[in-house]
Amino acid sequence: MTISAGVLTKQGWIRQSDNLHSDIDDITADVSALSFDHHIPNWHMYFIQDPLVKAHVFPDYVKHHCRMLIVFAVDTVAWGRPHPDLWDRVGFEDREAYLDDMFSIMRGDENLQRDRAMQSVGMAAGLAAASARRLDYEVEIINRLDAAKLANAIKIPETHEIAMVLSLR
């Protein structure tokens, strides 16, 4: 699995140190060890470095002063999109699990896909936090921000929901 295509690196007008980009690469590499449910990308990770964006979406930014925010967004309709090569990429057990989940959704379990993606985001955030700590960052979960304002600022698709935000300082 590779998530580098789903990682958005925003840079502000303030020049960041070169090791920040290396740190983003290291964190991304560690998180990419996870696989997606049914091999379908159902969440994305965004790195926010721009001080103006951080200040806009995170009210305590001035007091808190983080080096970057890592935003995890869940794609709530990923399973419903066409995936023409899915059967070629997965084994029998994965196919069986996928069909079981699709039947559950058809029987009315509307939140199954979102719940699975949230579970994956929790694991990804844990890996990202461990990786960041290894790189000597202090990591904190951010709860006090407007998710809609954040989604608008980083222009995530409408089918995505902000699931978790980590602050690295």
| CATH level 2 (architecture), domain 4-168 | 3-Layer(aba) Sandwich (3.40)
Q: What pTM did the predictor assign?
A: 0.79
Output the DSSP codes for 74-103.
EETTGGGS--TTHHHHS-HHHHHHHHHHHH
DSSP 11: -
pLDDT at residue 18 in the model: 52
Going from N- to C-terminal start, the domains of the chain cover 4-168
Per-residue pLDDT of 80-106, as tens digits, reads 777 777 778 778 788 888 888 878 877
φ and ψ at 79, to 5 degrees?
A: -70, -25
DSSP for 16-83? PPHHHHHHHHHHHHHHTTS--GGG---EEEEEE--HHHHHHH-TTHHHH--SEEEEEEEETTGGGS--
